[in-house]
Structure 1
């Protein structure tokens, strides 16, 4: 977008982006430029960071919008009756729901986190014969005699772990998916021996816990356990589960460019102030905004205040600083997966195998070789980011909690059986990309968009560094 258009939009936005439309909040026109970070008038560019989440269709990091019965629209040619078509397949990807932070300040945290209202079940059971286990759950606690507690965080949580708000978000997420896609999703997961559905997660308790809430919302009357498929942790094709030294080599190249260094320059003062305030001056805290953003996001999304220095309660992060951290985090995600010369290679190395799995599902539908009608994958922001990059999203903000991509496949009744169309929804709406809005395109075109990001020989690529 031309610079004058971006400037006009910024001026209209005001200090907190209040005049930015809900859908525009997903696609900041200046995200390729470091001025997006330094321009304080942008605020959060219409993004929301609040708990409980507000019922808004805007970019809401704490609980991203998803297909919802009050807002869901059929593809335009179907809605205007120019074609007669029915939905035949849904491939659904989502990030886990909101949680506690991964990253605890080296100097400790000034507020305790409480997770007593959620039971983190941790037990196994025989698949057939054998004694039934007691359904034990992990109950975190803080021992005041533990000498490490002074520089950690008090309370009753693990870091990270799903929060009660995250679980309830997931349950509503599932209820809404049932309301939107109830004609496609089997009324019972056991229908036809379970052959119509495929449920998958990473090896993380976060995705598994989210699955429990979402799937209960989809099947409120189901009794008994469900298989949630996971690959072995050492070779998992999601959540960077397999070892590949080329990933870090390419990332180092990406983070050595003039534009990356420019973003470090414009944020130098902010990084220095935060590093001093929270004793967080190591490279893991200052080389990117991942850690600061994660800490701030987790606080705001679960009803806590922005942090203050443990040793001096008058030294606190301000909302203006948090907004700049969030803008910088969005810029970094857009740069990693969209706006650098090595984006395609980096996506191939990190997420190409999983993209290949998705494409194989789509090709099986295309060839009439699959009984599946619904596949649901519970993964992470680090999975959704590269997939959105592969789709060519127009601007990529950090995929928030519960972020979701829906690949819908439609059969056009008015043509031959091979005439299948696709659309891709991001957070409930047709995604805007460099290929146009993916609202009604031949399935073959969608496969062609994704195909270049599937590595031909990932073993050789990973060993070539």
Structure 2
């Protein structure tokens, strides 16, 4: 086990050192990750989605896609049908068993963070999901049992800000019913692989001899995803489960801590000739979208984060691409959305792989969280930990730098429920 653990640490160390030299340490499937070294990837309309999937049913779980397909709405995760043992174990050149799993995943699909400044032409309906919001004493107190209240969003038609917002019964962002169903299946699949097949996961998260560590950001998105994924993993468990979070002001995930150096470096990265070239290439598209959707501010024009987020959230939950609220005939076309998605891919690859300061940027954004993972691995190696399984519910902004640190060949935007599994055998 120690040798394999050291190999994992060596891989992380080597990946970080190779990153600045542009040498790939972790290969990726060509169908997942195209070469993203030039802006022609953005402007080549013939590429379309580059084999990616950007659609999912609104009230059903996402159909499982092949493990070699980039499915933004529900990324592939370990399943019995596609799981492969490490080659030395599979060919029986070594005798080994799985003793520890460190698992990271992005939350499941959701409504958008970014509402179009000119207003939304469609209503969002979230009546079919109940985000629960209540607190209970750590010790049972019959005198003060909480009522299981949930947040029911609504719009008052007299609200003067509604004209430039969106009608409906959702918060933005929030987990959708489709995301909830995806999460339950995600958990069931993890149970089937790491519980039933590999005999690692305990039947209960309360097992004192085979302990689990469950962690999320302070976001309702990751917490809601955790609840449904963990139900799939622990179907027979009865009672509450502790989900660990750091204080939101100093959280080591989701950029929860203040860091002036991080922000300064990002400004430098987004002032390079390469970054400006991608802005020049996409200027006609950004201009059209700005006029159509009222999205001309720097927040919408300096990166493709906001446009991509809005379009992805629509398509991944059964909605159509947006139209202008002034002219219902003026709508975002599929080719325009695909260019937005390709531009988003290019930006993520540039932030975490291609720019000259990618290593330093990863250290500033995600180094503290990576160190937490390494400490857990170290404790397993030293035999000082009873943990067998750690599950972290985080964000795309955490998955991206971790993949960059591992030296992924090229990086597309980490889709919903993107995941990384570190196994110690």
Query: Structure 1 length normalisation: TM-score?
Result: 0.82
Give CA deviations for 1:244-267 in whole Å, capped at 9, x if unaligned.
111110001101111111101110
Give CA deviations for 1:191-243 in whole Å, capped at 9, x if unaligned.
117x6100000000000000011000001111110000000111100000000
Equivalent of residue 231 in structure 2, options 212, 216, 223:
216
CA contact (8 A) 1:381 1:400 kept: yes
Measure the CA separation in 2 of the matches of 1:172 and 1:56: 13
- Tell me by how many angstroms 1:338 deviates: 0.6
- Tell me by how many angstroms 1:54 deviates: 3.5
Q: Compare the two structures and name the one with the higher strand fraction.
A: 1
Question: C-alpha root-mean-square deviation of aligned residues, in Å?
Answer: 1.0
Equivalent of residue 152 in structure 1, options 160, 165, 179:
165
Q: Does 1:312 align with 2:327?
A: yes
CA contact (8 A) 1:26 1:395 kept: no
CA contact (8 A) 1:188 1:222 kept: yes
- Tell me by how many angstroms 1:332 deviates: 0.1
Residues 44-443 of structure 1 mapped to structure 2, 5 A cutoff:
44-52=49-57, 53-57=62-66, 58-130=69-141, 131-182=144-195, 183-192=199-208, 196-410=211-425
Secondary structure at 1:377 match in 2: strand
CA contact (8 A) 1:203 1:233 kept: yes
Give the number of the structure with larger relative contact order, counting CA–CA contacts within 8 Å between residues 6 or more apart.
Answer: 2
Equivalent of residue 26 in structure 1, options 23, 29, 32:
32
CA contact (8 A) 2:100 2:423 kept: yes
Measure the CA separation in 1 of the matches of 2:420 and 2:364: 21
Measure the CA separation in 2 of the matches of 1:75 and 1:365: 19
- Tell me by how many angstroms 1:24 deviates: 2.6
Query: Structure 2 length normalisation: TM-score?
Result: 0.90
- Tell me by how many angstroms 1:129 deviates: 3.9
2:18 paired residue number: none
- Tell me by how many angstroms 1:23 deviates: 4.1
Measure the CA separation in 2 of the matches of 1:242 and 1:98: 25
CA contact (8 A) 2:104 2:421 kept: yes
2:3 paired residue number: none
**What runs of 5+ residues in structure 2 fail to find an aligned partner?**
1-27
CA contact (8 A) 1:337 1:343 kept: yes
Measure the CA separation in 1 of the matches of 2:377 and 2:316: 35
1:429 paired residue number: none
**What runs of 5+ residues in structure 1 fail to find an aligned partner?**
1-21, 411-465
- Tell me by how many angstroms 1:36 deviates: 0.6
CA contact (8 A) 1:110 1:310 kept: yes
CA contact (8 A) 1:23 1:59 kept: no
Provide runs of 4+ in structure 1 moved above 2 Å.
22-25, 52-55
Give CA deviations for 1:105-139 in whole Å, capped at 9, x if unaligned.
11100000000010010000001042210000000
- Tell me by how many angstroms 1:322 deviates: 0.4
Measure the CA separation in 1 of the matches of 2:120 and 2:29: 35
Measure the CA separation in 2 of the matches of 1:352 and 1:42: 35
Q: Does 1:39 align with 2:79?
A: no
Measure the CA separation in 2 of the matches of 1:154 and 1:129: 40
CA contact (8 A) 1:202 1:378 kept: yes
CA contact (8 A) 1:69 1:176 kept: yes
